[in-house]
Chain A
Amino acid sequence: MTVPIVPKKIKLAAGNDTLSIEWSDGHISAYPYRHLRDKCPCATCSESSSSRHVEPGPFPILGEKPLRPERAELVGRYALQIYWSDGHSSGIYSFPYLRELCPCAECAWRHSGEEASPRVC
């Protein structure tokens, strides 16, 4: 049995609009908020992003609250639930899914060609 890789330290505001995760294997992931929000795994978001996803334009509407995680909670032993400033919170980001989403070059290369792991909702 292999020991699962889990987060050790999660920083919601790690600077430059990113959330960072330090993993139990030492790897550090830095996720731009927009990237993480777009990859929300909840049923509503994954449905809409596959059928009619609208990219946010370069000029956000005046007065719109900037996107950021307001808080986050652990779900059981396997996932993180993020409460976004846009009011959305139903996405449960499992640790393996978060690891898959790591945007660093090394991980992106490793995950290219791999199938996404099946979701747990």
Chain B
Amino acid sequence: MENKLSPEIVLNALKAVKDPDLHRDIVSLGFIKDLVVTDSRVAFTIQLTTPACPVRDQLAAQARQAVQALGIRDVDVRLTSAVMGGRPGKIELIPNVKNTVAVASGKGGVGKSTVAANLAVALKRAGASVGLMDTDVYGPSAPILMGGSSAPAVVEGKSGPPGEYGIKLISMAYFLPKDEAVIWRGPMLHKTIQQFLGDVRWGELDYLIMDLPPGTGDIQLSLSQTIPLTGAVIVSTPQDLALTVAAKAIAMFQKLNVPILGIVENMSYYVCPKCGHREDIFGHGGAREAANKLGFPFLGEIPLDINVRVQSDSGKPVALDEATPYGKTFQEIAGALAAQISIANFQKEQEISIE
């Protein structure tokens, strides 16, 4: 080897590798850590902005190739991640939660809770620390979807949420007998949201997923006013009826200056397990079209499938198994969502100063 290899030469070569979402090279993004360069060997770690990064393997392969092109055969690439938060300051109620994501739809019955639970599971499976907050006080469903039945333990006056599948979880369902109903007006809902945020020991979380009830009312407003949300995911079925109502949820978030991280199409199509015939029961592609028209990312589509329903009802979200087609689908949607969160956080928001 005639040329002496230096860290500078390696970093220069790695600058050819660009993050496709952030549109910058991985060196200037500060992703390269622990670079060790000897004459015959190069080792480094790529620190991604999320463990759910959809392009992680692609980036690792490109980085390896870039260094190998320098004539080095022994290249050791490790992948790690450190999830970023978007704000310079900490949020008082949840100081160690990096990102808060509302899952909303406007219309009821489109599968918000199922999508929220599976996104939480998929992010967890990818290696992130995740919480799931069921903000639907009137119709709580998260403990059914997640298979949790025990009420949260109270530690030092604060509830410690149980961890189903390693996900911290809070829901009104824990505080009510099964057949009882919550019959409340707005101010009580507001108080509940504040308690779900501040009186629960969330600890350190990369992502807190919030399952919202239908509508554009008290809960949505309380949540958006109490904390600066990282963003919102809109779930819709492909039919016009659902999309029309979803547009109202989008309008609400825009008024509240909450970024729309993307749109998910649920019940996107149905494939008969007997004959393989595909039926677009609610139409198909409507949510994608709406996303394109409005300029929001389209995060993915989930077919109407009996397995999703059966596993949801039995408290075993399909996202627990990436080997199944629907498990893989949720993993991809969670990856796309995590990428959008990273993009939003990279556009570092300036803190608003009040003096």
Contacts and interface: CB of A to CB of B under 8 A. Distances in A.
B257 interface: yes
Contacts of A11: 355
A80 B352 CA distance: 10
Interface stretch (B114-122, B176-184, B218-226, B326-334): B218-226
A95 interface: yes
B257 A6 contact: yes
B175 interface: no
B227 interface: yes
B255 A10 contact: no
Q: Chain A contact residues: over half helix, strand or loop, or mixed?
A: strand
Contacts of B226: 76
Interface of A: 1, 4, 6-12, 24, 72-80, 92, 94-95, 120
Contacts of A78: 224, 255-258
A107 B229 CA distance: 30
A92 B225 contact: yes
Contact of A77 (B221, B229, B354): B229
Contacts of B257: 4, 6, 76-78, 95
A73 B229 CA distance: 16
A24 B347 CA distance: 14
B255 A94 contact: yes
Nearest to B353: A9
Contacts of B221: 120
Given A9-B352, A11-B355, A120-B255, A76 B225 contact: yes
Contacts, number: 55
Contacts of A75: 225
A38 to B, nearest CB: 21
A10 B355 contact: yes
Interface residues of B, number: 19
A10 B352 contact: yes
A24 B225 CA distance: 21
A78 to B, nearest CB: 4
Interface in B202-233: 221, 224-229
A29 B139 CA distance: 45
Interface of B: 221, 224-229, 255-258, 294-296, 350, 352-355
Nearest to B87: A77
A92 B226 CA distance: 12
11 contacts: A1-B295, A1-B296, A8-B353, A9-B353, A74-B354, A75-B225, A76-B227, A76-B228, A77-B256, A94-B255, A120-B221
A11 B46 CA distance: 42
B183 to A, nearest CB: 23
Contacts of A73: 354
Contact of A76 (B258, B294, B295, B296): B258
A78 B220 CA distance: 13
Nearest to A81: B225
Contacts of B258: 76-78
A8 B225 CA distance: 19
A24 B353 CA distance: 12
B313 to A, nearest CB: 35
A100 B15 CA distance: 45
B224 A77 contact: yes
A94 B221 CA distance: 13
Given A1-B295, A120-B221, A120-B256, A77 B228 contact: yes
Contacts of B295: 1
B224 A6 contact: no
A24 B351 CA distance: 11
Nearest to B230: A77
